[in-house]
Amino acid sequence: MDKVAWYIAVLFAGSALGGFYLGGYEWLRFFTYFGSWGTIGIALAALGLGWFGVQLLTFCHRKQIRSLYELYYVLFGEAFASSLSAITHILLLGYTGVMLGQQADFLLEEFSPLWFILLTIAAVFFILNRWRWIVTATAISLSGGLLLFGLIFSAQSHVPIPSLGYQLNVNWLIHAVFFLALHFLIGLATTLPLAVRASHERTVRSGAIIGAGIFLLFTLLGQAILLAHWHDSHASVLPIKQILVQMMPGGDWLLAILSFVHGGVIIAALLYSLSHPIATRQHLQMLPLIVAMLLTVFVFSLLTLVVPWSMSAIASAATYCGMFLMGWYVWKQPN
């Protein structure tokens, strides 16, 4: 397996997990609330991520599709490509901003969320240089996250497995589909430029499958941790922070540092993937475009501090955008 497959796997997994997965908010909301059904939902989300990743990334590789605009052009035609691409870009930047704002607001109580937001955005400039830097930083941040989860998991003497009679309804499946739609859209947007650079289609396929496997490992580990600490963390916005604070002194600072690194890396990867095709197609300079995108992220991050419900609204809109793209691809089944 060549290194491009590993590049794709690392970026696909890191972006599909999300820049702010370490807090555990989305896992708690989409999976852990549903007990064992949530664990099944994790497995189905990982399978869906792998399947859609293989299908769409190999399709883009064959057609040499380098951006969301080009993908929309092929799937929807010229009349809708520009508007759909613009909407998706705004939703992705908006979702990134509101998640950054929410995490900054709750990570460190004695630290202003504005400072965390500004430091994260400043870190993006340091990382946002070339693909190799971004991939290496993503691999390092994923390794740090895995070590953190391994540390927490190793301290558990028992992980309860809820009865399947608990939450016996279809809500777990609906939430798994919602999670898949949102996080696949992020993973696709981030990984597209790398998929086109691959020399063989099997490289793209291997990268997507391995990336989905890494995603499954992290989410199952996170699910086990949250189930083991259910009574301590089920009402927390950042359940992993709640667990770490109880485990060790300075646990909140450890989580803040790791979240700062991974969040900055994934924002850098997403912005590079979104801006580079636009700069190439429109003959624009990268720096002003990246600054404009970072300002958009910054504005949305402040929005969620002022209007808390904006996070749910923007995340829902991005979710339906991803669901629409996935559904349209399945319906059209382009060659």
What CA dihedral angle connects 262, 267, 270 and 272, to 10 degrees? -110
* Domain total in the chain: 1
Tell whether the model's pLDDT for residue 41 goes beyond 90. yes
Model confidence at 332: pLDDT above 70: yes
Q: First-to-last CA distance in the chain?
A: 26
Q: How confident is the model at residue 277 (pLDDT cuts 50, 70, 90)?
A: confident
pLDDT in tens, 191-213: 998 888 888 899 999 999 999 99
pLDDT over 70 (residue 129): no
Alpha-carbon span 219 to 116, nearest angstrom: 25
Backbone φ, ψ for residue 200 (5° rounding):
-135, 150
Asked whether residue 16 carries a pLDDT value surpassing 70, the answer given is yes
Distance CA 14, CA 135 (A): 9
- CATH number reported for the structural domain that contains residue 236 in this entry: 1.20.1730.10
145-195 pLDDT per residue, tens: 999 999 999 888 778 888 887 777 899 999 999 999 999 999 999 999 888
Residue 267 CA to chain centroid, in angstroms?
Answer: 10
- Tell me the chain's radius of gyration from C-alpha atoms: 19
Whole-model pTM: value is 0.93
pLDDT above 70: percentage of residues in the chain: 96
103-127 pLDDT, tens digit per residue, is: 887 777 766 777 777 777 777 766 6
Structural domain range at position 108? 3-332
Tell me the pLDDT of the chain averaged across its residues: 88
CB-based contact 265:134 (threshold 8 Å)? yes
Q: What share of the chain has pLDDT > 90, as a percent?
A: 46
Rounded to an integer, the average pLDDT of 130-148 is 87
DSSP assignment letter at 265: H
Rounded average pLDDT over 60-79:
91
